[in-house]
C-alpha cells in the first residue's frame, strides 16, 4: 500500500505541477476528492463490483467463457488496491506542495547541462521533495495500520482486525491488550518517522519569491494521455464508488418502507448527536489547553499540550482498548462498593454510556481542534492583549472580550472538522458504543459485512457528503502553504 500511494501520488503531483495539459486546473482539486470516501466504504463497493458473483466477473465470463481468469479481489491485493485509491491524496497533496516550493532555476540549470527532463526529476526534483513525500507516505501508512473493516472485507488479517476479533469474538481482554500494544508501537514508530521527515523540510524551502518549476505544455496525444490518466484515477477512486452508491440508493428509495426510513433517521440522529457533543467537548478542552500552553515560562503546560494531541497518530482500536480496560475496572469497583454498602449496583456508568465513548473521541480528535485553535491564537498580536491588559482587563475578560471573537473562525473550523471525523469514525464507535446504539458508520459496516449492499447506500452517501466538507480546508492548505504546513493540516484531519 505504501508503495502504491508513493508511486500514484507522486506521479500525479509531478504531472499536475510540471506539465500543462487539458483539464489540469480541474484535476488539481478533483484528485483530492477520494479523501471524502472512507476506506471501509470504498472497500465493500469494490467487493460488490469485482467479486466472483459481481457484475464485472459475470461480464468477463459471458465474453471469454467460464474458464476466463481474473485475479480475485477478495485478497491482500484487493485490500491494497482499495487502500491505495483511498489514501493516495495524502501523498499527492504533500508531494505537490513540495514540488511547488522548489525554485525553477535549479531545474533549468540541470537541463542546460544536458540532463533530460526525466533525469532532472529523479536527480533533483524528487530528492528535494523527498521529506514531504515521505511524510505523506507515513500518514497513509498510519491510516492503513488503523483500518480493520476494509481488510476484513477482503479476508486479509491485520493487527487492528485481530484486536476486534479477539475482543468481541473470544472476549480475551489480555490478548486484545497485547495486540493493541503491538499496534501502538508500530503507530508511534510511524509518527516518529513522519515528524523526523517533516522537520527536515525546512532545509528545502528554496523557492521563496523566485519562479517555480518550469511547466511543459503537453499537446496532441501526449496531453490527451495525461488527461486520460488523471481521469482514470479519478474515476476509479471517486466516480465509480459514488456512482455505484447512487445506483443502490435509487433502488433503496424506490422500495423503501416507513420502518426502514425510521431506522435511517435514527442512525442519522445518533451520528449527529455524537458528533455534536464530541465537537463541543473537544473544542472547549482545546481552548483551555491552547490558552494555558501560551503562558510564558510554562514549559510543562506546553509539553502537556503536545501530549494530549498525540491521539491522532494512535489507531482507534488501540485507544478503545486503552480506555475500556481502566474504565471497566472503575465500573466494577463502583458496582462492588455500592453493592457492599447499599445493596444495589448502578450498572456500567462509564463503559455502558456515552461517557467512555466521548472520552475516546476526545483523545482521538483533540489534535484537530487544538491545531485549529492554536493557529488562530498565533495570529493575535501580543500588542492587542497587552493593550487590553493596560486598560485594566483581567485575563478572563481578555479571553472572552478580545481573543475569543478573534479566534471564532478557527474555533468553528476545528468544530466542523471534529464533527466530520466523528461521523466517519468506525473502530472507536464499534468497540465503545452503548449496546444497541448504532451510527451511520456502524450500520454501513454491519450491512456490508452481510453483503446487503443496497442497505448501505443511503447511510454511506451521507457519510461521503459529510466527508466532502474538509476538502476545502485541505485545498486551501495545499495552494497557499508550504508542504510542512500542509502536512500539519492533513494530520489535523486524521487521523
Q: What is the pLDDT of residues 459-480, one digit of tens each?
A: 999 999 988 877 776 666 555 5
Rounded to whole angstroms, how far apart are CA atoms 448 and 41? Answer: 9
- Crossing angle of helices 173-200/316-342, nearest 10°? 140
pLDDT given at position 204: 45
Rounded to whole angstroms, how far apart are CA atoms 225 and 208? Answer: 33
Q: Radius of gyration (Cα) for the chain, nearest Å? A: 25
DSSP state letter for 102? S
> Is-contact 131 98, C-beta < 8 A?
yes
CA distance readout (Å), 61 to 51, 52, 69, 240, 464: 12, 10, 9, 21, 33
Q: What is the pLDDT of residues 61-77, one digit of tens each?
A: 888 877 777 788 888 89
Backbone angles phi, psi at 494, to 5 degrees: -105, 180
Q: Look at residue 92 and give its three-state secondary structure.
A: helix
Lowest average pLDDT, out of 232-246, 336-350, 442-456, goes to: 336-350
pLDDT given at position 205: 47
Question: Which tops the pLDDT comparison, 17 or 211?
Answer: 17
Whether residue 212 is predicted with pLDDT greater than 70 in this model: the reply is no
> Is-contact 429 357, C-beta < 8 A?
yes
DSSP state letter for 170? I
Q: What is the pLDDT of residues 183-196, one digit of tens each?
A: 888 777 877 776 66
pLDDT given at position 359: 93
Q: What is the pLDDT of residues 213-227, one digit of tens each?
A: 667 888 889 999 999
Average pLDDT over residues 13-32: 91
- In sequence order, the β-bridge partners of residue 19 are 216
Rounded to whole angstroms, how far apart are CA atoms 360 and 431? Answer: 10
Rounded to whole angstroms, how far apart are CA atoms 321 and 330? Answer: 14
Average pLDDT over residues 122-133: 80
Whether residue 316 is predicted with pLDDT greater than 90 in this model: the reply is no
Where does the pLDDT of residue 494 fall: very low under 50, low under 70, confident under 90, or very high at 90 and above?
very low
Whether residue 490 is predicted with pLDDT greater than 70 in this model: the reply is no
Whether residue 210 is predicted with pLDDT greater than 50 in this model: the reply is yes
pLDDT given at position 483: 46
Q: Name the pTM for this structure.
A: 0.83
Lowest average pLDDT, out of 106-110, 261-265, 337-341, goes to: 106-110
pLDDT given at position 444: 94
pLDDT given at position 211: 59
Average pLDDT over residues 76-87: 93
Average pLDDT over residues 323-336: 90
CA-based torsion, 13, 14, 18, 22: positive or negative = negative
Q: Look at residue 216 and give its three-state secondary structure.
A: strand
Amino acid at each position: 500500500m505504501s508503495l502504491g500511494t508513493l508511486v500514484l501520488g507522486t506521479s500525479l503531483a509531478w504531472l499536475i505541477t510540471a506539465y500543462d495539459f487539458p483539464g489540469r486546473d480541474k484535476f488539481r482539486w478533483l484528485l483530492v476528492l477520494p479523501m471524502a470516501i472512507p476506506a471501509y466504504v470504498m472497500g465493500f463497493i469494490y467487493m460488490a463490483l469485482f467479486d466472483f458473483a459481481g457484475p464485472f466477473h459475470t461480464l468477463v465470463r459471458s465474453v471469454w467463457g467460464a474458464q476466463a481468469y481474473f485475479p480475485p479481489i477478495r485478497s491482500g491485493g484487493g485490500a491494497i488496491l482499495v487502500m491505495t485509491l483511498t489514501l493516495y491524496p495524502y501523498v499527492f497533496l504533500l508531494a505537490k506542495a513540495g514540488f511547488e516550493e522548489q525554485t525553477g532555476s535549479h531545474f533549468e540549470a540541470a537541463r542546460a547541462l544536458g540532463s533530460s527532463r526525466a533525469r532532472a526529476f529523479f536527480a533533483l526534483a524528487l530528492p528535494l521533495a523527498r521529506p514531504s513525500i515521505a511524510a505523506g507516505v507515513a500518514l497513509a501508512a498510519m491510516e492503513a495500520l488503523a483500518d480493520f473493516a476494509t481488510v476484513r472485507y477482503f479476508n486479509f488479517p491485520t493487527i487492528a482486525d485481530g484486536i476486534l476479533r479477539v475482543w468481541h469474538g473470544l472476549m480475551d481482554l489480555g490478548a486484545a491488550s497485547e495486540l493493541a500494544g503491538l499496534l501502538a508501537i508500530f503507530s508511534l514508530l510511524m509518527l516518529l518517522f513522519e515528524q523526523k521527515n517533516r522537520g527536515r523540510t525546512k532545509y528545502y524551502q528554496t523557492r521563496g519569491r523566485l519562479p517555480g518549476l518550469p511547466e511543459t505544455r503537453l499537446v496532441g496525444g501526449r496531453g490527451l494521455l495525461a488527461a486520460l490518466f488523471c481521469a482514470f484515477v479519478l474515476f476509479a477512486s471517486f466516480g465509480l464508488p459514488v456512482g455505484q452508491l447512487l445506483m443502490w440508493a435509487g433502488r433503496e428509495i424506490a422500495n423503501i418502507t416507513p420502518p426502514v426510513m425510521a431506522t435511517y433517521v435514527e442512525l442519522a440522529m445518533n451520528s449527529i448527536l455524537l458528533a455534536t457533543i464530541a465537537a463541543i467537548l473537544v473544542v472547549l478542552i482545546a481552548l483551555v489547553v491552547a490558552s494555558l500552553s501560551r503562558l510564558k515560562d510554562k514549559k510543562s503546560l506546553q509539553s502537556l499540550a503536545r501530549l494530549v494531541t498525540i491521539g491522532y497518530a494512535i489507531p482507534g482500536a488501540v485507544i478503545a482498548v486503552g480506555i475500556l480496560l481502566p474504565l471497566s475496572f472503575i465500573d466494577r469497583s463502583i458496582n462492588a462498593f455500592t453493592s457492599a454498602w447499599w445493596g444495589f449496583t448502578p450498572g456500567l456508568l462509564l463503559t455502558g454510556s456515552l461517557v467512555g465513548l466521548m472520552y475516546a473521541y476526545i483523545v482521538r480528535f483533540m489534535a484537530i481542534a487544538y491545531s485549529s485553535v492554536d493557529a488562530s491564537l498565533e495570529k493575535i498580536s501580543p500588542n492587542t492583549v497587552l493593550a487590553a491588559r493596560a486598560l485594566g482587563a483581567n485575563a478572563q475578560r481578555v479571553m472572552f472580550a478580545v481573543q475569543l471573537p478573534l479566534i471564532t473562525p478557527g474555533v468553528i473550523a476545528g468544530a466542523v472538522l471534529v464533527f466530520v471525523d466523528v461521523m466517519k469514525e468506525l473502530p472507536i464507535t464499534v468497540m465503545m458504543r452503548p449496546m444497541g446504539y448504532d451510527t451511520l458508520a456502524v450500520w454501513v459496516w454491519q450491512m456490508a459485512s452481510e453483503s446487503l449492499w443496497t442497505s448501505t447506500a443511503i447511510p454511506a452517501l451521507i457519510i461521503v457528503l459529510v466527508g466532502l466538507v474538509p476538502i476545502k480546508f485541505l485545498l486551501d492548505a495545499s495552494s497557499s502553504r508550504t508542504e510542512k504546513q500542509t502536512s500539519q493540516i492533513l494530520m489535523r484531519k486524521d487521523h
